[in-house]
Each structure stands twice: as structure tokens, then as C-alpha cells.
Amino acid sequence: MIKVAFFDIDGTLLPFGASRLSNDCARALNALQKNGVKLVIATGRPLSVVPVFDNVRFDGILCFNGQMFFANDECVFQIPMDPQEVEQVIANARQAGYGVCLATENGMAINFANANLRRYVNNDSLVDLARFEQMRQETVYQILVGMHYDDAPVLLPATRQTKVTYWCDYGLDVIPKDGGKDQGLLRVARHFGAEPSETIAFGDGLNDLDMLRKAGIGVAMGNAMEGLKNAADYVTRTVEEEGVAFALRHFGLLPD
């Protein structure tokens, strides 16, 4: 019996560039919720840029790739990065010629951006050194870097409590070692009184891979990266083809 359902946003609930759930997706999610299943957004986005949908009310938001969880507008748990390791990652990245984007509860800021980081965050207004320096004093939950995942080891020398999760082949996130969407899934399931086997998770990027493996049912979107499809229990249709609703019907989770 599925008790909690986890959904990535970009490429899963929404086509890239969209801001509103389709009517078919909203109907499916509302029916699932009415059936007693808790709906949880599981995103790499900071809380400040998680959309509020007007046609579905989610039971929880797991943001920063699993480092912070909100339910009923209250923070249930948060797992920040170690401040010394934040500084070490910034220094390692700079030495290797990469700028970084710090993500805190109050937003994001970039010190300097290469082409991949600009493509990854898709918001040139975040390149703001003064704001970046201010955010270094705030609680940081993740660091975004525009680089290929094969180059990620240059970010981690002299760190012990930090790891990398990959979203795509030109962008990755640096997060705490005890963070990640998979660990977030376990904590959120426990919060709702569910076992991991009683969860279903949907995603399209490599940062969803561990979450899909931890879930009772892991569903990759038809538009997902091949590595995620290979690890999933089921590959559904694309986000444009209403893949979420299709998979929920496939597993008999929606009423007839």
C-alpha cells in the first residue's frame, strides 16, 4: 500500500519553462490525495523558488535536494552544510576556475559564472558578488556548480562532510554527506508514519536516482536521463505526455 508519493518538479511535474500543473496531472494528484496518499514535492530547488500551485495543495515540500522539509508551513527538519566546508568548496572551485552559486533559505547568489553555470541556473541576475559575500555568512544548504560530473572531484579536497549529486551533464550540486533526496525520502516517510516500501517516487534527473532506488516504486519519466531510466522500476511517458498520471493509473493508485 502506497502512503507517500514524491515528485520532482522540473521535467517531472512540469515541462521545463512551465509554471502551472496540467489539468490531467492536477486531477490525478488530487484523486491520489483523496485516496489517502500524502503528496510531497522533492526538488533540488531552494524553498524560495518552489512554485505554489493553484490546483493542487501538496502535503509537504522537500527542497534543497533533501536538506529541508516543510509540512503545514512549518519546517520539520533541516540539514545545512558545514560552514567551513562551504568555504573549502568555494576555494576549491575558484582554484579550478569555476564560479559557484550558494543556495540559502533566502535565495541564491553567484560569485562569477562560466557558461555552464549560467545555463544551469538560467538567471544572470544571480551573478552578484556583494550578495554572494553576504550569503557566505548565512546558512548554506547546497552549492550549485556548472561543470561536467567527471570533473566533480576537484571540488572535494579537504572536505569530509560533503558530497556531490548530479542533475545533468553540465550542472551539479554540492550537499552534506547525510543529505540527498534519498535520505530526505526516508525522513519524510518516517514523519508520515510510512515505511520506504510504502512510497512511490517520480523523477527525471540523476539527482533523483538514489531517491528512486530507496522508494518502494521508483518511476522515471519518459524524458529522463538514461542512467535514471536504467535504475527505475518503471519508465512512464514523458512529462508532456502526462507521464505522472499515466504511471499512477498503471499501478492502480487512482480510483476507476
pLDDT at 16: 86
What tens digit of pLDDT does each residue of 189-206 get? Answer: 999 999 999 999 999 999
Question: What's the chain's length in residues?
Answer: 256
Show Cβ contacts of residue 245 under 8 Å, excluding neighbours closer than 6 positions.
24, 25, 27, 28, 254
What tens digit of pLDDT does each residue of 101-132 get? Answer: 999 999 999 999 889 999 989 888 899 999 99
The pLDDT of residue 36 is above 80: yes
Domain 4-79+179-250 CATH class label: alpha beta
Give start-end residues of each CATH 3.40.50.1000 domain in the chain. 4-79+179-250
pLDDT at 229: 97
Q: Candidates 3.30.1240.10, 2.30.40.10, 3.40.50.2000, 3.40.228.10; correct CATH number of 83-176? A: 3.30.1240.10
Q: What are phi and psi of 245, to 5 degrees?
A: -60, -40
pLDDT at 256: 65
The residue with cell 540527498 is: 180
Q: Tell me if 46 sits within 8 A of 83, measured CB to CB.
A: no
Q: List the beta bridge partners of residue 78.
A: 68
- % residues pLDDT > 70 (the chain): 100
Which residues in 201-236 are b (16+ Cβ under 10 Å) and which e? bbbbbbbbbbbbebbbbbbbbbbbbeebbebbeebb
* Whole-number Å distance between alpha carbons of 166 and 173: 6
Give start-end residues of each CATH 3.30.1240.10 domain in the chain. 83-176
